[in-house]
Amino acid sequence: MQITEHVYSTHIEEDPNTFGAMHPGGTQIYFVGDPTKEMVMIDSGENYRHWTQQIIKYHAELGSPVISTIFITHGHGDHIGGLDRLQEYFGCAVRCHPKLAPFLAHKLDSSPDEPTVQKLKSNEIIQISGETTLKAIFTPGHEEDHVVYHLKQDRVLFSGDTILGNSTGSVRNLNQYISSLRKMLTLKPEIICPGHGNTVSNATNRIQFYLHHRLQRESQILTAVKEGSVTVGQIVDTVYPRNLRKNLRAAAARNVETHLSKLVEENIIHKTDSTYSPI
């Protein structure tokens, strides 16, 4: 599917009833550039053989352009799975956050003399083909090695798991996450191409919604604690919808824990063993 002049995507559906289906709206793998010349890819999906096969088939449908680089948004298994197969198939470079580079270099047998895996610099601008460039912006929060990529020419932001198409994602460090969202807002993108779910056409609104959502969630959690919820499980039951899918509950609990550590750090609530109380 073509999204903008320079952005193409293959959408991988995930059956909610099978193992590993964690992502509402499936996963998108992006090809960026000029299909008649040279392109790059963003992420490599899960390590399932049929995912890799779908990506290779889509590359053929695009006319088998040269793939110069695979850019990685972060080191979670659903973004770097199949990377060894795809890197070998395309014979391309892999670019990622410096914190992820040693792991990927080991995974791909990248040699120091001719490194396949190359560290990005913060705010590095990389030429893709012709005038087309991608800017790599370090956006910790969902994970500390997270990078989003800005395609200024098309006003597109590849958001990895920092912003999702059909849901809100999990956060490891909330303070970092909020400043990453603010950084993304300053880019004024029109379209967000997320790692999972549908493309978002009102990009700025979505980023503002995410910021608002986090602050609102924090106040809900604080209210729950003040009203007598003492464990993470009780807070999840109070704050999240009752019909929350089982496989999303663990992510919800992690989110609650992230908020709680921020509130503990800020001396707003108190933690004893695994129970919480207002100060």
Of the pair 69, 159, the CB lying nearest Zn ion is at 159
Give min distance, CB of 148 to Zn ion, in A. Answer: 13
Footprint of Zn ion on 162-221 (CB under 5 A) = 195
Please state the closest distance from residue 161 (CB atom) to Zn ion, in A: 4
Q: Quick one: 65 or 165, whose CB is closer to Zn ion?
A: 165
Minimum distance from CB of 194 to Zn ion (Å)?
9
Judged by CB, which is closer to Zn ion: 158, or 276? Answer: 158
Select 154 or 161, whichever has its Cβ closest to Zn ion.
161
Residue in 143, 145, 161, 218 binding Zn ion, rule: CB under 5 A: 161
Among 14, 46, 78, 218, binds Zn ion (CB under 5 A): 78
State which of positions 244-273 bind Zn ion (CB under 5 A). none
Our finding on whether 143 is near Zn ion (CB under 5 A) is no
C-alpha 73/C-alpha 161 separation (Å) is: 8
- Least distance (Å) from Zn ion to the CB of residue 162? 10
Binding stretches for Zn ion (CB under 5 A) = 78, 161, 195
